[in-house]
Structure formats: C-alpha cells, structure tokens
Amino acid sequence: MNDAKEMKKFLTKSLALVLVLIMSVSVLATAPVKADEEDAVLISAKNDYSPYSWHPVVKDKVKTFANDNGGVIANCYYERIVLVGFKKGTKKINKALKKLSSAYSCDDLYDYAREAAEQGGVNDVYSDFTRSDVSYADQKYFSVVTTREWYAGGVGNYFTNGYVFNLDTGKRVSITTATGSTLKQVKNAIISAVKNDSEFGDYLTEYEPQIKEFVNGLKASDINYYINGYGKVVVLVAPYTEPFYGGWTREYVLEDLPCVYDVIG
C-alpha cells in the first residue's frame, strides 16, 4: 500500500517537472534577442518574452524572355510575414500583410526584361525582390519592415517601408501614438535627425528651407516609419523625394523622441 502511494507521488512530481520543462522551452523559443546583442531585432523592456512567433511565406516568380542569343531572366519574389499568436488582432494583421503581398506585381519587371530581350539583350538577370523582417515585438506592438531591391539593367533602386500594428486591434499605429508625442514634436525630431545625419554636409544651410518645407507638410498618417530593436522610431523618406534625391530610402532614427516601451509603461 505504501509502495503504491510512494509510486503515485513520484509519478506526480515527475509529470509536474516535465510540464515545467516544456513550458520553459516554449518561452525560450519565443524569447527575443537582447537589445545589446549584435543583429538584435526584438526588445521588450517590460516583459521577458513576447508570446508570439512568426514565419515567412515567399511568393516567387521567375520568367525567361528568350532571343536567338539567349535572353534575359526576370526573377521576382515577395516575402511576407505570418504572425502566430493569440490576440484578436493577429488575423487582421496577417490579412493586412497578405493584402500587401497580393498587390505586389511583377508586370513592370517582366515588361523591362521582355523589351531588353527583344532588343538583343543577353545573359542578364533583372530582379525585383522584397524581403520582410520583424523589427520589433512586445506585448502591444508588432513592427514589420519591408525592403525592396529593384534592378532592370540600369541603376538599382532600394525601397523600405514600415508597418506598425497594435496587437490587440490589428490596426496600424500612427507615429504620434507610438511615441506619445504631438505631431509638432515629431516634425521637430525629424528635422533634428536630418541635420545630425550630415547627409547634406556643407550644403545643409542651402537645403534646410526645403527640408523644413517637406517635413512641415506631413500629416501623421503620411509618415512612414518602423520601430527598431531598441524601441526607437525610424522615419523613412522615399527615394527621389526632394530635396533628398537618390534611388534609395533614407532612414532617420528619432533620438529626440521617447522609446516606445517607455510610452507603453
């Protein structure tokens, strides 16, 4: 009788230990990289882990436009993030990200490749790639960055876009909400970040009126941004935007504004 009771106690304790180990492994599997580590992309100052995981889904299309000498290959793909979690906003976020992927068209790239092949182009690979990365995740916000690289026989272009979602509602979050700042404070922080970037060098004084005109004309909904691994917002300026010019997206970390996790409390 005593042996049976002892065996029952032993089995109960063993089962409890196994459950603890399983839960520990589950937490570690979703734990974010610490912000002070190289290549950190996730941070949660108020929580030791974020109860979410995600995985990429790639939409890949390749076509070859042939001619007598070979032809031109057009390689196009879009990688989107699929969020796995338990809050009601998860489905809405995934739906929004899928909509972006569905709207992605390879037609322009194919047209350029077809035209190049018809004109005798050979042994060239045209490309239109979009990669998606999770730049930040905590208990409230989920930030995704998409980076697009375009090449069609000339100079390559690079486009970056940010998408910040509320995990509870699934809705996009404005930069003023994320930082707890007024639009005026955000604009002042952008102007300060541009000045400190030294991009314009000795020509800053010349271009400063145009920079201010561009920034002051922005609405909160116009500001393209994401949250980086340290909880800071990063504002994105599209290629060929005057007076920034160039075929790549400019990125400005707004050091003058609070970290997102400090605003959340």
Supply the pTM of this predicted model: 0.79
CB 157 within 8 A of CB 147: no
Domain end point (choices 146, 171, 196): 171
Planar angle of CA 42, 104, 234, nearest 5 degrees: 35
- Is 239 inside any structural domain? yes
- Is 233 inside any structural domain? yes
Domain end point (choices 171, 196, 229): 171
- Is 11 inside any structural domain? no
- Is 20 inside any structural domain? no
Distances in Å between the Cα of 239 and the Cα atoms of 97, 108, 245, 246 are 22, 18, 6, 6
**148 and 231 share one domain:** no
- What is the Cβ-side half-sphere exposure of residue 162, based on CA atoms within 13 angstroms? 29
**225 and 142 share one domain:** no
**166 and 47 share one domain:** yes
**184 and 198 share one domain:** yes
CB 140 within 8 A of CB 115: no
Each residue's pLDDT expressed in tens, for the chain with a length of 265 residues: 444 444 444 444 443 333 333 333 333 333 333 333 333 334 433 334 455 788 899 988 999 999 988 899 999 999 999 998 777 799 999 999 999 999 989 999 999 999 999 999 888 999 999 999 999 998 899 999 999 999 998 878 999 999 999 999 999 999 999 999 999 999 999 999 999 998 888 889 999 999 999 999 999 999 999 999 999 999 999 999 999 888 899 999 999 999 998 887 6
Residue 61 maps to which CATH number?
3.30.565.40
- Domain of residue 214 covers 174-265
**148 and 181 share one domain:** no
For the chain, the domain total comes to 2
- Is 2 inside any structural domain? no
**182 and 234 share one domain:** yes
**77 and 202 share one domain:** no
| pLDDT of res. 246 | 86
- What is the Cβ-side half-sphere exposure of residue 151, based on CA atoms within 13 angstroms? 12
**83 and 156 share one domain:** yes
**166 and 189 share one domain:** no
Domain end point (choices 132, 154, 171): 171
Structure tokens at 257: 């504004």
What Rg, from alpha-carbon coordinates, does the chain have? 24
**147 and 185 share one domain:** no
**46 and 145 share one domain:** yes
Residue from 161, 171, 178 nearest 92 by CA: 171
- Is 30 inside any structural domain? no
**261 and 247 share one domain:** yes
